[in-house]
Amino acid sequence: MTSPGFVYEPYALREPIPFWKRYFTRTGWKQTKEDIKSELKSAYAIAKLRKTGYSKQKFYKEAVELYKEISTLIANGDKTSLRKAVTENMFSALKNEIKQRESIWSKVYWELVEPIVKIRTLRARLIGVDKNDLNKAFIQLTLEFLTKEKFEAYDSKGAVVAGDKTKEVLVRSIWVFEKSLFHSGAHWRLCGRIKV
């Protein structure tokens, strides 16, 4: 098994609750309880990941490189190289996305302006594969990227039909990375993108 094939408990933005509502209403208490459970699940997953030598700074560098590599491969329509950087289900979704885009635009220019503005971990989840062996698990980290990017799309004659590569655009992306904790030589791969 190389991937569970789904994003476990996909991250969703929550509306902030005023202090009085959080602590003095039933719905507020319910959401507070859910928030605490979610934070504990993330803490447990990170603790398990740290036992494998995980470092947040090192992972963030790797995540930015993956973000840049995968986005470039998508822009270039390089499906062969893309297959290695993403899970099977994600590859299928991206292949369809590239096919759909190529029916509209013949070529795309994409560039990441470095350094990135911000990166943070929104959620960490552990997915057990074998209930008798807790070490057989996958980890999924949901990251938020705030980046400056340049984009331009061209038609078959080479004329610009969308974007402007002279202008930087602020982009917020939420990506889910996955890694097996029990396969030797396992590496981080993109397993999902969450619409913002």
Residue 60: what pLDDT?
Answer: 97
For range 131-138, the mean pLDDT = 82
Q: Is the pLDDT of residue 1 over 70?
A: no
For range 32-49, the mean pLDDT = 95
Distance CA 163, CA 165 (A): 7
- Residue bearing tokens 């893309």: 82
For range 26-32, the mean pLDDT = 92
Q: In the structure, what pLDDT confidence band is assigned to residue 131 with cuts at 50, 70 and 90?
A: confident
Percent of the chain with pLDDT over 90: 83
* Alpha-carbon separation of residue 15 from 9, 10, 22, 25, 28 (angstroms): 18, 16, 12, 16, 11
Q: In the structure, what pLDDT confidence band is assigned to residue 162 with cuts at 50, 70 and 90?
A: very high
Tally the C-alpha atoms within 13 A of residue 36's C-alpha that lie toward its C-beta.
7
Q: Is the pLDDT of residue 94 over 90?
A: yes
- Which of 1-15, 84-98, 114-128, 167-181 has the least mean pLDDT? 1-15
Report residue 112 as tokens: 């990441």
Q: In the structure, what pLDDT confidence band is assigned to residue 173 with cuts at 50, 70 and 90?
A: very high
pTM, entire model? 0.91
For range 108-118, the mean pLDDT = 95
Task: Specify the amino acid at residue 65.
Answer: E
User: What CATH topology corresponds to 22-194?
Assistant: Nuclear Transport Factor 2; Chain: A, (3.10.450)
Considering the chain, what is the average pLDDT of its residues?
93
